[in-house]
C-alpha cells in the first residue's frame, strides 16, 4: 500500500533542498508517482488527498489508464480489478453513437459504478495548473488552495445527517427540559456542517440519488 511517508521517501526526497521545481524535476516526480501507484494501491483517504497536490486532471486520467493495463480498478484507493478486464463490445460492429453511449463502459475501468463515481468526483476537483507552477508543492509546509474531498466521505456525512433527523422524528421526550437540551445539542452539530453553493454544478449530477 502506498503511503504519504513512502511517497516522500521514494518520489520527493531528492528535491526537498529547494523550493522551486524545474520542469524536468516535475516530469520526473509525475512519472515516479504514477509508476508507484500503478502497482500499489493508495492506503487511505489521507494519502489520496495528499497525492492530489501533484496531479492534474490529465495526470489522473493517465494513472487510471495505466492501472487498467495491469488489471486494476482505476480508483487508486481500490485493490480490486475492473469488473470487465476487456470491453466485450470492442470487437462488435456498433455505431459510434452506441459505442460512445454504452452505459456500462465504465466497467472496463472500474470495479463498480460506485468507484467510477468516486473517481470522477476526485478528478473533477484536481487543478489544471502545471505542477512546476505550484511553488513548494513537494515540501511539508505547502498549503493547497483548497482541500480535496472524497465522495465516500461526503456521502457518509450526508448519511449521518439523515440518520440524525430520523432519530429526531422518532424520539419521544419525557419533558420540556430534555427537549430544549437536545435542540441545543443539534444546533451545535448543525453549526459544524458546511453548506457550499456551487455556481457551476458537476455534470455527474446528484451523486447520492440512486445509491
Question: Is 78 annotated as a binding-site member?
Answer: yes
> Which three cell numbers, joined as nine digits, stand for 4?
504519504
Other beta carbons within 10 Å of 10: 14
Compute CA 100 distance to the chain's CA centroid, rounded to the nearest angstrom: 24
3-state DSSP of 115-130: HHHHHHHHHHHCCCCC
Instruction: Find out whether 18 is annotated in a ligand binding site.
Output: no
Q: How far apart are the first and last CA of the chain?
A: 28
Query: What three-state secondary structure class fits 42?
Result: strand
Angle at 110 between CA 106 and CA 114, to 5 degrees: 90
- How far apart CA 23 and CA 28 sit, in angstroms, is 9
CA pair distance 164, 186, nearest whole angstrom: 9
**Nearest-angstrom CA–CA distance, 131 and 22:** 10
Q: Which residues are annotated as a binding site for Zn(2+)?
A: 73, 78, 111, 115
Q: Which residues are annotated as a binding site?
A: 73, 78, 111, 115
Amino acid at each position: 500500500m502506498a503511503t504519504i511517508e513512502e511517497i516522500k521517501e521514494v518520489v520527493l526526497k531528492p528535491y526537498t533542498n529547494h523550493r522551486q521545481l524545474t520542469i524536468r524535476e516535475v516530469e520526473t516526480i509525475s512519472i515516479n508517482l504514477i509508476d508507484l501507484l500503478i502497482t500499489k494501491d493508495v492506503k487511505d483517504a489521507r494519502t489520496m488527498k495528499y497525492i492530489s497536490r501533484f496531479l492534474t486532471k490529465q495526470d489522473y486520467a493517465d494513472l487510471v489508464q495505466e492501472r487498467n493495463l495491469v488489471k486494476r480498478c482505476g480508483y487508486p484507493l481500490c485493490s480490486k480489478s475492473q469488473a470487465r478486464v476487456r470491453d466485450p463490445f470492442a470487437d462488435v460492429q456498433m455505431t459510434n453513437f452506441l459505442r460512445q453511449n454504452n452505459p456500462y463502459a465504465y466497467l472496463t475501468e472500474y470495479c463498480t459504478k460506485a468507484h467510477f463515481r468516486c473517481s470522477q468526483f476526485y478528478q473533477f476537483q484536481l487543478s489544471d495548473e502545471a505542477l512546476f507552477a505550484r511553488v513548494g508543492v513537494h515540501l511539508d509546509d505547502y498549503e493547497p488552495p483548497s482541500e480535496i474531498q472524497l465522495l465516500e466521505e461526503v456521502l457518509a456525512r450526508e448519511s449521518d445527517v439523515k440518520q440524525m433527523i430520523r432519530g429526531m422524528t422518532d424520539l419521544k421526550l419525557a419533558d420540556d427540559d430534555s427537549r430544549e437540551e437536545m435542540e441545543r445539542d443539534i444546533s451545535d452539530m448543525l453549526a459544524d456542517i458546511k453548506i457550499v453553493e456551487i455556481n457551476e454544478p458537476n455534470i455527474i449530477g446528484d451523486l447520492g440519488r440512486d445509491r
